């Protein structure tokens, strides 16, 4: 029985809302996978390592025979699991290169009465497809503003007004500063971050503007793909200006329920930039639960860094002043500005 193989784009298009199975080892899956794929590994990590060693030391035939010994007892459980998960018998399968692992698994599924296809070139081809995708030109507008301006809240309100947005910090699970990991789940490996970013962008209308927050290339330990980052460095920035004390208020609201020790650890990360005296003051303010003064001292540092960064920017910067921190009002102002750009 011949297994059908689809090119990457066709595979991704036809597998939407279908069962996608990554048959690579768990460690491979963890580092990166097709969005919404589940992992049903032919070989566990230790088994994959054993087969790899046999291949190098004793050759392909020995490795293949050992692989068959390992997989044979699992075949029934594979079939039962996939049948339980499949809604309409369609199954989309991939391994690393679209070779023996995905072909074998898809053959087994087809033999059991399911309709399985594989991805031509496997995960390696998918990675190249994604990286090439980030090189494609797109219409981008950046939302800028100093720390505490509520840019993420504004993005969400813009989305409610049917504008296309991608929340880079939301995908990265990090707010991009020394305090960025607070109240966030653990960051994903770089390839997972890129794939989730690709997925969100691919769902948008490329003929219309997409609004992103003006970020540095690194968000936590996730890094924006080179192709997208180069375009962001040329995109116009709508820079919203919010009064200092309103931004202090916003930060206090965001961090009022955070554990004091977690905040202290973040302050110590920027101790060199704050200076010895300001660091001591911040730590004392935290002991006194005086979040307002911690926010004021922190913002002095972040504002200096922000303005220094903006001096080096070469793209158009459109200033938008606001006397409120209300995200709904500010989103409306940003939308009106974007409408003029359109």
User: CA nearest 44: which of 81, 71, 68, 75?
Assistant: 71
Bridge partners, 4 (sequence order): 117
Burial 116-142 (b: 16+ CB within 10 A, else e): bbbbbbbbebbbebbeebbeeebbbbb
The sign one gets for the Cα dihedral 5, 9, 13, 16 is positive
- CA–CA separation, 151 vs 174, rounded Å? 14
DSSP string across 105-154: HHHHHHHTT-EEEEETTHHHHHHHHHHHHHHS---EEEEEE-TTS-HHHH
> Which one-letter DSSP state was computed for residue 194?
H
Mark whether 95 is an active-site residue.
yes
Q: Which residue of the set 95, 118, 168, 210 is catalytic?
A: 95
307: Cβ contacts below 8 Å, ≥ 6 apart = none
Q: H-type helices in the chain, by residue range?
A: 8-14, 26-31, 45-58, 60-71, 75-85, 100-111, 122-135, 151-160, 168-172, 190-202, 226-232, 244-255, 260-269, 271-274, 276-287, 291-311, 327-341
- CA–CA separation, 180 vs 190, rounded Å? 17
HSE-up (13 A, CA, CB side) for residue 1: 16
Contact 294, 267 (CB under 8 A): yes
> Which one-letter DSSP state was computed for residue 178?
T
| Residues annotated as part of the active site | 95
């Amino acid at each position: 029985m011949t297994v059908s193989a689809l090119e990457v784009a066709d595979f991704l298009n036809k597998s939407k809302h279908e069962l996608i199975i990554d048959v690579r080892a768990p460690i491979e899956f963890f580092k990166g996978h097709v969005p919404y794929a589940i992992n049903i590994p032919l070989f566990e990590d230790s088994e994959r390592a054993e087969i790899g060693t046999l291949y190098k030391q004793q050759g392909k035939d020995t490795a293949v025979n050992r692989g068959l010994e390992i997989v044979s007892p699992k075949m029934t459980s594979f079939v039962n699991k996939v049948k339980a998960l499949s809604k309409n018998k369609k199954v989309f399968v991939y391994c690393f290169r679209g070779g023996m692992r995905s072909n074998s698994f898809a053959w087994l599924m087809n033999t059991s009465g399911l309709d399985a296809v594989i991805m031509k070139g496997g995960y390696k081809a998918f990675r190249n497809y994604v990286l090439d995708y980030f090189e494609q030109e797109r219409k981008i507008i950046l939302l800028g503003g100093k720390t505490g301006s509520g840019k993420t809240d504004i993005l969400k309100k813009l989305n409610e007004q049917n504008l296309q947005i991608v929340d880079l910090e939301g995908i990265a699970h990090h707010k991009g500063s020394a305090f960025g990991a607070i109240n966030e789940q653990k960051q994903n490996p770089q390839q997972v971050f890129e794939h989730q970013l690709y997925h969100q962008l691919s769902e948008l209308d490329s003929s219309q503007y997409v609004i992103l927050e003006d970020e540095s290339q690194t968000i936590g330990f996730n890094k924006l793909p080179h192709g997208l980052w180069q375009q962001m460095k040329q995109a116009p920035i709508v820079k919203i200006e919010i009064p200092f004390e309103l931004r202090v208020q916003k930060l206090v609201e965001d961090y009022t329920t955070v554990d004091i020790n977690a905040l202290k650890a973040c302050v110590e990360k920027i101790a060199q930039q704050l200076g010895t005296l300001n660091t001591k003051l911040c730590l004392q303010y935290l002991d006194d639960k005086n979040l307002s003064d911690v926010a004021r001292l922190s913002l002095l540092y972040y504002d200096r860094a922000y303005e220094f960064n903006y001096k080096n920017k070469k793209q158009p910067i459109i200033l938008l002043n606001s006397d409120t921190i209300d995200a709904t009002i500010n989103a409306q102002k940003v939308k009106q500005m974007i409408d003029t750009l359109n």
